[in-house]
Structure 1
Amino acid sequence: MHSTTLIAHRGASGWAPEHTETAVRLAAALGADAVEPDLVATRDGVLVVRHDNELSETTDIAHRPELADRRRTQVIDGIELTGWFVEDLTWAEVATLRTRERLPQLRPASARRDGIDRVLRFDELLHIAEECGLGVVAELKHATHHDAIGLPLGAMLADAVARTRWSAPGALVVESFEEGVLHEVRSLGVDARLVYLMDEHGTAADLVGRAEASAGRDLTRDVSTEGAPSYATQRTDEGLAALARRVDAISVAKQVLFDRSSGELRPSDLVERARAAGLGTITWTLRPENAFLEPEHRLGDHPAAWGDWQREWAMVAGLGLESVFVDHPDLWRRISG
């Protein structure tokens, strides 16, 4: 258990609004080994640290009358979204925003810090992480979408790493739900471990786009995944063997680590099969609230109440994972020693 790297998911986001300087510094104080920033880009090409490119869930932009006219609807990765998008703002405009707790009903204590912290640039986070002795696990969000609007995330990350002279050996990981951008990062000379994120269901947006393009269809109008392998297909033995030739590790939704085929909750064989293929395995995200626990580990009916997280996390800890994503780093240290 001691060898499993503890990644603070967007900082200590169980205790403070995610992706803030407060959350990052608190993560270090609570024993995290690394911090995970999600990266999106402004209109003028600045990488910023936000959960998604739609900003109303995690900032006060909806209450900024001077930016009201930026609200619009667009399709991203086949899903229609309405809101305020970071790519419609300059960094100077984003810098005026203040952060908010993304899950206020579940985490009211964290929501008390709404309006206090500002949005961070990626280069700022790199400096804070270096100061705190944290590794960085950078997730590139919606890479295909950003490429289509002239904001190549891979190139922007490579530039930010070079400008900040980030050189801690082995301390940078780059991950994405789209494999193509990972190879772009490596081709640009970034010294990083490459991790392919895999949801429980669905298909990678870049693979869908490739399949749609080969069929001569418009991805924004037809999101059929015909001809594109799903994440589940990529987790077969054959799929894992192929991935092992291209990436260093996979990072899977927590649900994928469990199997109920026997009638009770047991660990699946994914970690063993990935290890046999030569891949490390990471999981996301461990949280103590009932809303995020497996049904067998919930206590009571209130989604914000903490369930039997110790039992669930102990099961995960016994799998020999390379890393785990956790919102409350101190809780993981409590069970892992």
Structure 2
Amino acid sequence: MIPTRFSILAVAIATALLAACVSAPPAQAPAPTTPEAPKVRPLVIGHRGASALRPEHTLASYAKAIEDGADFIEPDLVSTKDGMLVARHENDITGTTNVATLPQFADRKRIKVIDGERLTGWFTEDFTLTELKTLRARERIPKLRPANARYDDQFEIPTLVEIVKLASEAAQKRGRPVGIYPELKHPSYFRGIGLPLEEKLAPALQASTYLRTAPIYVQSFESGALRNMRRLLGTSMPNVRFTQLIGGAGTRPADWRLAGDTRTYGAMLTPLGLREVATYANGIGPEKSLVIARDSTTPTALVRDSHAAGLVVHPYTFRPENNFLPKALQIAGDPATRNPNGMVRELDAFIAAGVDGFFTDDPAIGRRAVDAPAP
């Protein structure tokens, strides 16, 4: 049988295809994809406790913060005359206690210059702990938080020891740690009057069974205080981290001012400045407008640059009242009107910008923003 032109062509094609299959390398299986690590949710830090709902820096405020889901509670620490650490936002207790109403302490009123500011009032360093325990806490901003004022004169000024005890007991009940985020307030001032805070805080941390393993961030606006704490603790407490607080870019840390250093916080905000901060701190706590300006929707480069330097970012402070929210998020009412949805929407923008945690006066709303999207 004589092959036709068509059959010859078919054989040729089949032969070529067979050769191609033999010589071609085997098909490669698609490379396995590595699942992305789940994004760590930002920490909810109870700023002075749950200070939107209870007078700040009271055991009631800290307990409410823990109840409402705070990962950390934040006591600002100042010293008494006898060197005990107590929780007050400022050592000036004129507006946050009933001291001005007590005739037995009328002669304790003083004029002082603290971190360059002239103040008139009553100050913790002029009272022993026993004397301070006779005072009662009052709401700091009653016009914006009138509901808090109903708790006036009910709560004592707590010591650091009492706050740690509260956190330890709460941690046992809820089955996970309650972090402590203490701030050293005016450390250069207290050192200058012979009551250095760092030398009190370091041994207090080391002496506490609970604090040896609990999450801890020590914070200050003064870099010198953080360096002192690192030196005093050494390698004894690897669970302790440090946060450099950062105020407005045009303001100066008190220790720099006292040393004649003319730089401002703005020097810490540059990539070079952040790398310097990373030599003694694990994170920064910037005023929140440094991350997203108050009436803007565009983040600055601060989170990106901080992460590049190996620093976490915990901005302050998120509050639920109209007065503290950007204009676009405010609702009908006066400055004291509570606006939880507005605060959640504000936080959504910061969480999207990549912050690692945040300070809030209302941890329940902060927890809602972390756990669920805004409405």
TM exceeding 0.5: yes
Partner of 2:337: 305
Whether the aligned pair in 2 keeps the contact of 1:135 and 1:171 (CA below 8 Å) is yes
Query: Displacement of 1:300 after TM fit?
Result: 4.0
Structure 1 position 174 matched with structure 2 position 218: yes
Q: Which moved more, 1:141-150 or 1:309-318?
A: 309-318
Whether the aligned pair in 1 keeps the contact of 2:65 and 2:363 (CA below 8 Å) is yes
Counterpart amino acid of 1:8?
Answer: G
Whether the aligned pair in 1 keeps the contact of 2:205 and 2:212 (CA below 8 Å) is no
SS of 2:314's equivalent?
strand
Whether the aligned pair in 2 keeps the contact of 1:123 and 1:161 (CA below 8 Å) is no
Whether the aligned pair in 2 keeps the contact of 1:2 and 1:336 (CA below 8 Å) is no
Structure 1 position 126 matched with structure 2 position 164: yes
Query: Displacement of 1:122 after TM fit?
Result: 0.8
Query: Displacement of 1:312 after TM fit?
Result: 1.0
Structure 1 residues 2 and 234, CA gap change in structure 2 (3 angstroms): closer
Partner of 2:4: none
Structure 1 position 50 matched with structure 2 position 99: no
Counterpart amino acid of 2:305?
Answer: R
Counterpart mapping for 1:167-246 below 5 A? 167-169=211-213, 171-189=215-233, 191=237, 192-201=240-249, 202-211=251-260, 227-246=261-280
Partner of 1:296: 328
1 CA distance for matches of 2:219 and 2:47? 13
2 CA distance for matches of 1:170 and 1:229? 35
1 CA distance for matches of 2:359 and 2:218? 14
Task: Considering Cα pairs closer than 8 Å and 6+ residues apart, tell me whether 1 or 2 has the greater RCO.
Answer: 1
Equivalent pairs counted in the alignment come to: 320
Query: Displacement of 1:79 after TM fit?
Result: 0.4
2 CA distance for matches of 1:318 and 1:60? 42
Partner of 2:111: 73
Structure (1 or 2) with the larger CA radius of gyration = 2
Structure 2, unaligned runs of 5 or more: 1-38, 172-177
Query: Displacement of 1:310 after TM fit?
Result: 2.5
Q: Identity, % of aligned pairs?
A: 38
Structure 1 residues 168 and 208, CA gap change in structure 2 (3 angstroms): same
Query: Displacement of 1:259 after TM fit?
Result: 4.2
SS of 1:108's equivalent?
coil
Partner of 2:308: 276
Counterpart amino acid of 2:184?
Answer: L
TM-score (norm 1): 0.91
Partner of 2:155: 117
Query: Displacement of 1:162 after TM fit?
Result: 3.0
Structure 1, unaligned runs of 5 or more: 212-226
Query: Displacement of 1:166 after TM fit?
Result: 3.7
TM-score (norm 2): 0.82
Partner of 1:257: 291
Superposed CA deviations along residues 52-103 of structure 1, whole A, max 9, x for unmatched, are 0000111110111100101011100000000000001111110100011111
